[in-house]
Amino acid sequence: MRSTPFRPLSRRHALGLIGSSAALGLVGVPRPGWANTGETAPGMIKSHGYSFYGDLKYPADFPHFDYVNPDAPKGGTLTLSERGTFDGFNRWSWKSGKPEPNSGVVAESLFGEMPFGGGLPADTITDSYGLIAESVEYPEDKTWCIFHMRPEARFRDGSALTAHDAAFTHNLFLEQGIRSYARAVAERITNVEVLDDHTIKYTFADGISRRSLIDQVGGTPIFSKAWYEATGERLDEPSLESPMASGPYQLADYEINRYAIYKRNPEYWGWHLPVNKGRYNFDEVRFEYFADDTAEFEAFKAGVYTFRAEGSTKRWATGYDFKAVENGHVKRESIATANPPRSSGVIFNTQRAPFDDKDVRQALGLAFNFEWVKSSLQFDLTTQRVSFSQGSEVMADGVPEGAELAFLQSLGDLVPAELLTEDAVLPHTSNPAKPADRKNKRKALKLLAGAGWDVGDDGMLRNAAGDPLKLTFLLSSATSDTAEAIITTYVKTLQEFGVEAAMDKIDSAQFSQRFYDKDFDTIFTGYLPFQSAGTGLRQLFGSESAVVSSYNPASLQSPLVDAIITAALATKSREEEIAALKALDRALRHERIVIPSGYVAESWLAYYDFYEHPEELPPYATGYMDFWWVNQDKYNDLKEKGAVK
């Protein structure tokens, strides 16, 4: 279902939030995969890249990433679709408006990143490699780090990109960035010092985990100080201006709510870098905008746009029977990835009563019939998500034992007795014959009665004061037809249970603002998955930033979860970390803040058959906006046949 209210952060920024690891004792001498690119004092590390776990996969002299085609032809256009509206190009604005969601492509960071978001490289989740930074150095205890920046780096206007710009951008995010992010950064980074025009030092706070700090500062986009000062633009305000940055793609043309075009900059400063070889192969990337799901798909069938990542199970099962598919002009491909799915589903706003009551959340969850949804609306193509880190080695399973049990026991009375003795929470099962399951309804009414909600003579659930149990589901106008059908069915089932349930469908800009303001009862969205410990777990699940964090849509505030995160950040080995994260997954599922939805293990791609990709794709990204390319002869052939516009 395609109904997320915001674009998740790229993996580099997600690692800056979620972290990635536990430190190795790399002390003053080179190791395989590391390059001491200058003289270093004892206990110091200086390298072309950074990894919190294990050795870097790629040595200092690597020519390109293994999965790219270094000889990929350049040229052509990748044309994709977006649904809804946009009113500007400041991706980092949060106060109001709806920025074009791909507009962050213009910016780069000290570490490399995929152009439209995603981890780089796509064949490892632990490594970072210098982009604007030529190298990074830090002491063994990671109390600070220094980035040595490439003197050739330039903004799109040709002006030099320097350490002064990096320091300015850091402070800009503190002053005008998303509140939860700014607060977290301010608590972790105590000082930013420009040592010279191309050298910048970040000093980290004492008494905090060292995990993910270097990833975080290395993943922050860098903007032009001179441009911001000259224009008076603000990071937190909507704007039709695209921030002055250094990326290989820059905004070239647009018509509000119709299209946006990002063109490859032939004067881009970094074409020679190994991290860029075989990438950025399209001359331009164009996004066509559509008001609704039906118009969007009809445009694809007509060749108005030529590449589609399919999010509808119904359409994947039944919609691809049009002429362009039958005659081979459109190709369909299912590509498996190793990334856990987002923890998507119906999420309760725990700031609001009665959704602050776990028993009420569990009871309302019993009205969601995944089995019916899967068979009736999703053509049996989905699997129900169980875990906040589905399919990974940190997914909790069964009764806690071994290292996980010992970890939980070390937390004392914070841990409910049932968490130690019962299986990890699994989604309930339902009769797929019809949306409302009578057995689950009985369970729900019993739970609700225990929470003070009884069925009145009118069949409605009421508390002791006679107030009805109300729930309004917030829905975006850009939501797909299938997702809307699922939510509509859920609301009707809640009504059968005696809940005064309704659906509020609003335009996408209002939806985004209400999401950021936590102005909803329930919503369909998700949490970023985790596979390792990092300080960003506090933004995802921690109490301190829960009310303002857009990464914690449920606003979860749990002393147990807080204690688990703190302890996870102090683990000394991967084995200890896995045990702690299993405990975190177990505790989060116990809170029942999400009614799990289904997921598809593969990426479903449909595209006109002039796009090509390397034979062996990496495990963590399909990469169609990064390292695919256009076969010009195939394109010309389809153009002559009238298959594409």
- One DSSP character per residue, 353-409 reads TTTT-HHHHHHHHTT--HHHHHHHTSTT--EE--STTTTSTT---SS--HHHHHHHH
Question: What is the domain partition of the chain in residue ranges?
Answer: 348-524+579-598
pLDDT at 479: 84
Count of residues making up the chain: 645
Q: Percent of the chain beyond pLDDT 90? A: 77
Helices (H) and strands (E) in the chain, counts: 19, 25
Kindly indicate the confidence band of residue 41, based on its pLDDT and cuts at 50, 70 and 90.
low
pLDDT at 4 over 80: no
Residue 251: name the closest of 215, 288, 286, 213 by CA: 286
Alpha carbon distance 188, 496 (integer Å): 49
Torsion angle in degrees (nearest 10) through CA of 5, 11, 14, 16: -150
203-223, pLDDT tens digit by residue? 999 988 887 899 889 999 999
Greater confidence, 604 or 477? 604
Kindly indicate the confidence band of residue 147, based on its pLDDT and cuts at 50, 70 and 90.
very high
Greater confidence, 407 or 479? 407
Residue 579: name the closest of 401, 413, 415 by CA: 401
Mean model confidence pLDDT for the chain: 90
Kindly indicate the confidence band of residue 481, based on its pLDDT and cuts at 50, 70 and 90.
confident
pLDDT at 53: 67
pLDDT at 317: 94
Helix (H) or strand (E) holding 455: strand 454-455
Alpha carbon distance 585, 392 (integer Å): 11
pLDDT at 333 over 90: yes
pLDDT at 9 over 80: no
Quickly list H helices, 155-292. Answer: 163-176, 179-188, 213-218, 225-231
Question: Given phi > 0 = left and psi -120 to 50 = alpha, else beta, which region is 300?
Answer: alpha
Asked whether 276 and 260 are in contact (CB, 8 A), the reply is: no
In sequence order, the β-bridge partners of residue 511 are: none
Asked whether 360 and 461 are in contact (CB, 8 A), the reply is: no
Asked whether 451 and 357 are in contact (CB, 8 A), the reply is: yes
Residue 554: name the closest of 539, 533, 566, 534 by CA: 539
pLDDT at 40: 58
519-567, pLDDT tens digit by residue? 999 999 999 999 888 878 988 999 988 998 889 999 999 999 999 999 9
Kindly indicate the confidence band of residue 366, based on its pLDDT and cuts at 50, 70 and 90.
very high
Kindly indicate the confidence band of residue 27, based on its pLDDT and cuts at 50, 70 and 90.
very low
pLDDT at 38 over 60: no
Alpha carbon distance 316, 480 (integer Å): 13
Quickly list H helices, 476-630. Answer: 481-497, 508-516, 537-541, 559-569, 574-591
Alpha carbon distance 623, 282 (integer Å): 13
46-90, pLDDT tens digit by residue? 999 998 766 899 999 999 999 999 999 999 999 999 998 999 999
Alpha carbon distance 192, 166 (integer Å): 9
pLDDT at 10 over 80: no
pLDDT at 182: 84
In sequence order, the β-bridge partners of residue 149 are: 133
Kindly indicate the confidence band of residue 24, based on its pLDDT and cuts at 50, 70 and 90.
very low
Q: What is the mean pLDDT of residues 21-30?
A: 25
pLDDT at 15 over 80: no
Kindly indicate the confidence band of residue 235, based on its pLDDT and cuts at 50, 70 and 90.
very high
Alpha carbon distance 479, 552 (integer Å): 21
pLDDT at 12: 38
Residue 511, token pair as written in the block: 């939806």
pLDDT at 37 over 70: no
What φ, ψ does residue 602 adopt, rounded to 5°? -110, 165
Kindly indicate the confidence band of residue 337, based on its pLDDT and cuts at 50, 70 and 90.
confident
Q: What is the mean pLDDT of residues 20-43?
A: 36
Residue-wise DSSP of 539-575:
HHH-STTTTT-TT-TT----HHHHHHHHHHHT--SHH
Q: Percent of the chain beyond pLDDT 70? A: 93
pLDDT at 118: 77
Q: What is the mean pLDDT of residues 402-427?
A: 97
pLDDT at 55: 80
Question: Which DSSP symbol is given to 106?
Answer: G
Which CATH number does 348-524+579-598 carry? Answer: 3.10.105.10
**Three-class DSSP category at 42:** coil
Q: How distant is the alpha carbon of residue 278 from its chain centre?
A: 25
Task: Give the pairing of strands 522-527 and 343-348.
Answer: antiparallel
pLDDT at 531: 86
Kindly indicate the confidence band of residue 33, based on its pLDDT and cuts at 50, 70 and 90.
very low
pLDDT at 39 over 50: no
pLDDT at 176 over 90: yes
